[in-house]
Amino acid sequence: MKAVLQEKFRATFGREPAIIVRAPGRIEFIGNHTDYNGGPVLGAAIDRGVWVALAPRTDGVWQLASAQKDGVVRLRGGDLTKHSGATSWVNYPLGVIDALRAFGLGVPPGFDYFAGSDLPLGAGLSSSAAIELASALALTRAAGAEPARDVLVKACRHAENHFVGVPCGILDQGVSGFGRRNHLVFIDCRGPRFEVVPLPEGVHFWIFNTHTKHALVDGLYAARHRECMEAARVLGVGLLVEAPLGALAAAAGRLAPVAEKRARHIIEEIGRVDATVRALRAGDLTSVGRLLTASHRSSQMLFENSTPELDFLVDTLVATPHVFGARLTGGGFGGAVMAMTSAAFSPALAAGVAAAYEQTFGARPDILHTLTADGAQVL
């Protein structure tokens, strides 16, 4: 991929890139929507991601191009006007520039920028965080700075929240920034605090991308955020991470039924994340698998961010040999399911799951067998 990106950069800008950065996509392992509620979450950086090649300019012009889009977006340096339509992808690097400045970090006055990806889009693997981390690392390195990794992660989340306009937590950027091969990233989102948890040998991840997406996904994500904040307000806490499970019974009659369901999912999901860390440290993959599947059932019934397609895949996968557990990964409302399997789970078994899905829904999901990988890095 590095050689391909260099070639495309040369073809687009007529010179060599000075910096090449790769940032991985991520699997949300467990902790669905817990992050913006202050809770813990586990994720895995994967061996697919977004690549950014960059070379500084001296004329104060920003030129941005992408392997996934035609043409070059040419801007006068400092123009942070938000884009729409075919060029809306530049909101990610522009949002990063805006955030870096807000964090007191410099960027080069001018640059040529080219982004490429081997990460399947729309699969709940957080291509947005990957392009943010890759952009931030390339831009700060080009400006001669090496900010602490947690600062970069926080700046990229700021870009997503305040420029792109998605009220995400720190999970996506944190995993892309702090990933380590053969480990999961544990994030205590209250700090945030980042650490890695060893992944027992023999674990494989399979992603089944349905290519389905609820037409109102952005609004539904924001609605879940509002519902959680309202539940916290009624429970008298700043964030749901501060509420014990017993608080729901104590608030009976004051908490709307929908808010109660959302809060129950978050509070119980926080417990599942903690239990998963303990099971991982004990090497108990059977218990980890049960917790993953229980997480999906809660997303399905309480948080209501699953879909019939995702539910079908989980039902089929957990009934298939060599699967420890399965759950939706990412924000939900479509997208993908992750299965944690042993090495004995084969492409033939994966194809059987896909065939059953196709027979039911008339379309075949994409299948991605992925490994863990290191976080964002200059190559």
CA nearest neighbour of 174 among 277, 34, 68, 291: 34
Instruction: State the pairing for strand pair 323-329/334-341.
Output: antiparallel
Query: What would the DSSP string read from start to end of 109-147?
Result: SEEEEEEEE-SPTTSSS-HHHHHHHHHHHHHHHHTT---
Catalytic residue, chosen from 59, 79, 172, 188, is 172
Q: Is residue 172 annotated as part of the catalytic site, yes or no?
A: yes
Q: Which residue has the tokens 């817990």?
A: 34
- Cis status, amide bond into 365, omega within 30 of 0: no
Q: How far is CA 339 from CA 46, 80, 121, 289, 345, in A?
A: 14, 40, 18, 9, 10
**CB contact at 8 A, 44 and 184:** yes
Q: What is the DSSP letter of 160?
A: I
Integer Cα distance of 205 and 326 in angstroms: 10
39: its two tokens: 């809770």
Integer Cα distance of 168 and 164 in angstroms: 10
Specify the DSSP element, H or E, that contains 218.
helix 217-235
Q: Which residue has the tokens 């129950």?
A: 264
Cα-based torsion angle of the residue sequence 100, 105, 108, 112 in order, rounded to the nearest 10 degrees: -30
List, in sequence order, every beta strand (DSSP E) within 136-293.
Answer: 183-188, 193-198, 204-213
CB contact set of 187 (below 8 Å; sequence gap of 6+): 35, 40, 41, 42, 43, 170, 171, 174, 175, 178, 193, 194
**CB contact at 8 A, 164 and 91:** yes
202: its two tokens: 């023999």
Other C-beta atoms within 10 Å of 281: how many?
A: 11
The residues carrying an active-site annotation are 172
